[in-house]
Chains A and B, each alone.
Chain A
Amino acid sequence: MNVLVFLIPIALFLGLLGLGAFIWALRSGQFEDLDGEALRILDDEDDKPLKD
């Protein structure tokens, strides 16, 4: 049962990590314009082809 001493904190840490990432995304406005982001990802105007 000693393994629990590691496993439970690890499980909780990973869960908290996910929660933290979500809260960060929410706070930084990534859920404000879902339709817009879906389009913006296709924007490649400023990408220049590599010169060889």
Chain B
Amino acid sequence: MGCCGIRGENECIAPGSAALWMREDGEGGYVLHLLVPGMEGLEDIRAIEKGLKALPGVTEARVNYTLKQVKVRWRDPAFDPDAIIDTLEGLGFSARPFDPDEAGVGAEDREGRELLLALAVAGFAAGNIMLLSISVWAGAEGATRDLFHWISAAIALPAIVFAGRPFFRSAWAALSRARLNMDVPISLAVLTAAMMSLYQTVNHQQHAYFDAAVSLLFFLLIGRYLDHRMKVRARSAVSQLMSLTATGATVLDEEGRRRFLPMENLQKGMKVLVAPGERIPVDGTVIEGASDVDLSLITGESTPEPVKEGSRVYAGAMNLTGPLILRLEAHGEDTFLSEVIRLMDSAEKSRHAYVRIADRLAALYAPVVHVLAGGTLLGWLFITGFNWPVSLLHAIAVLIITCPCALGLAVPAVQVVAAGVLFRNGIMLKSGSALERLAEIDTVVFDKTGTLTLGQPRLMDTGPVSTEALAVAAGLARGSSHPLSRALLAGVEARGITPEPVLNVVEHPGRGLSGRWRGVEVRLGSRAFCGVGEEVPETDMPQIALVIEGQRPVLFTFEDTLRPDARETVARLRQAGLRVEMISGDREGPVRAMAQALGIDVWRAGWTPQQKLAYVEGLAKAGAKVLMVGDGINDAPALAAGHASMAPSTASDIGRTAADIVFLGQSLSAVWLARLVALRARRLMTQNFVMALIYNAFAVPVAVLGYATPLFAAVAMSASSLVVVSNSLRLGLIDRRLRRGFALKDGAAGRQEAHEKKKREAA
């Protein structure tokens, strides 16, 4: 995942850059892969394919709707691939070329194919062997039984070798690092079962476990494939959110020509051009032009900052009003962004140390099973007077019967259902362990700008300002794309006032707007620009002034828009007994106001990324399990340090990379919903483990005593797997209840509420 791109709304690929991603297709032509996140429905598929095929030279244009990608082929070396992007933009889609080999985007899902193929082979083998086994259990004897066993062996042995590879590989990887995971007992059971069954077949005996060994693989592969598919889907959804930014910058050379250069070709001292509406690609000093830059992703500051010649600007800031020429001072390795990435990488180490529930259990379970099997072998050797074949048979039966089929399904099955429920509600899990970690949290730390708020300013109560002044201000603001202008216009229109027509509107980047209204000059902009003196006290909130020639200037104050449900979410989290805190890079005034509005007692303002990171690490050291919720570049290290972390989909690329969970949409209730699902999922996992252990408590003594016939093994193992899977599916019921509009609460409170609602409806 490219960490250097910052997401923006209006960014597009600079000309000439698509050629960087095109590849030879090995058949004498060329191929280009593009991400088109905006496609929606059949109409779009058709429009894209038709539009691209109409380009002269294009031989193939194929949409992959699941992954929201387009693959385009052509033969003519003179064909300009930028035409593809232009065509897509003409159709109303923004597109980003990508490298299919780049990790995370995943055009080719080799692992998924391999699992599916293994699943198909195991399924075929299990079905046919079961057919033969049933006749054996029904009483086939002598030569017929031997024949059936031989056919079973002929099917099972190659199938085990083929379909068992994912398990054998994982088990081998664990063993070679001197660890135990669930795949170790699984592999051991499958392999020993196959060996022993072959031995029994050769010696015309009756205990062949081919069916058990193969159906075991079949069940486990189902779990593993579903798990894998969920991961791929979440990963591709996250990568689609990624920027449409080209990783490079527009450079002015000595003769004043513009050229787009990729990141790696940039050099210190180059002149970089940044148009209004673009993200600043590098750290540098302004040498020409003036503008306002939005630093909200970098510092959390909600007010845009004016910049002019000599100001230092950082990669990731959004240039709002005027074109800027920068002298490049640092890029790539030396930027503020890479400093943040370094902090993030070091913070992430603690999370890698987290051991997942299944692995923790495997570390206990595997030795117990192996000791049991060893004990069984010794016991039977002693009883039978060193009859090796019989003793080995019973020992291997113990291995087969205890093979953690249900345990192997207990976690993935729940995970798949939970991820599905969250996915349908716009919440994407980036790793499986995120759900387990989320269930453990006891403290929630929010960032302010962009997380608790939408990062969009809103016009506050205007008090005594006349309708006329508002109308004039809106008329001026119409001519600008500055966020405060847009907020002013929206605020005035929402009050039912029609903007006055203002003539000759000129934007003075970094200062404001001027124009003529009814023959007098009017200005809208910074205090200095509008002649507001020291007598009017400054506030911490963003303000702009309006002056109509000959009148006293008036001030408009803005506040950040709170996310819908922010208040409710904070209240609910506190009710559930969690500590809720807020840390922000913004100034103290807006942060305090926000904290009071939301009822958050612990808050910090004006913090740097380092301070945020140190704070979260400090909480962790004191024993707290912190859920960090943030969006900015400045939050990324803290997100990486949190026990679990969430970011809205509008976050910076690096913020989304650092977070475990990304949620779509404006509502903050995703935080609370994700935790709820995580808690339910943990409860179901525990139930599954308990059921699997109960099964073992019955089955193990039977096996140790030597009564585990192949029939018993087949029935017991399938039954326990089915029970575990159907229990996991219960998690999906949350989704149905959400859709029916039940207010979900934790445990008893939720049941109480649902009960009362039912009573009310009945009455």
Contact = CB atoms under 8 A, between A and B. Distances in A.
Chains A and B form a bound pair: yes
A4 to B, nearest CB: 8
Contacts of B120: 19, 22-23, 26
B98 interface: no
A18 B126 CA distance: 14
A32 interface: yes
A30 to B, nearest CB: 11
Interface string A1-31: 1001000100110011011001100100001
Contacts of A34: 66
Contacts of A4: 144, 147
Contacts of B12: none
A16 B42 contact: no
A38 to B, nearest CB: 8
Given A1-B144, A31-B116, A36 B45 contact: yes
Instruction: Give the one of B64, B121, B124, B132 with max A CB within 10 A.
Output: B124
Contact of B67 (A15, A23, A33, A39): A33
A40 interface: yes
B21 interface: no
Interface string B106-145: 0000000100110011001001100110000000000010
B65 interface: yes
Contacts of A40: 42, 45
A52 interface: no
A34 B132 CA distance: 35
Which label, helix, strand, loop or mixed, suits the secondary structure of the A interface? helix
Contact of A19 (B64, B124, B147): B124
B121 A11 contact: no
Nearest to B131: A11
Given A12-B128, A26-B116, A19 B65 contact: no
A43 B42 contact: yes
A42 B42 contact: yes
Contacts of A11: 128, 131
A15 to B, nearest CB: 5
B46 A33 contact: no
Contacts of B127: 15
B63 interface: yes
A26 B119 CA distance: 12
Interface string B28-42: 000000000000011
Contact of A32 (B42, B66, B117, B155): B66
A33 to B, nearest CB: 4
Contacts of A47: none
Contacts of A36: 45, 63-66
B151 interface: yes
Contact of B117 (A12, A26, A45): A26
A23 B42 CA distance: 28
A32 B71 CA distance: 13
Contacts of B45: 36, 39-40, 43
Given A8-B151, A26-B116, 11 more contacts: A12-B128, A22-B120, A26-B117, A32-B66, A33-B66, A33-B67, A35-B65, A36-B63, A39-B41, A39-B45, A43-B46
13 contacts: A1-B144, A4-B144, A8-B151, A15-B127, A15-B128, A19-B120, A23-B120, A26-B116, A33-B63, A33-B65, A36-B66, A39-B65, A43-B42
Interface of A: 1, 4, 8, 11-12, 15-16, 18-19, 22-23, 26, 31-36, 39-40, 42-43, 45
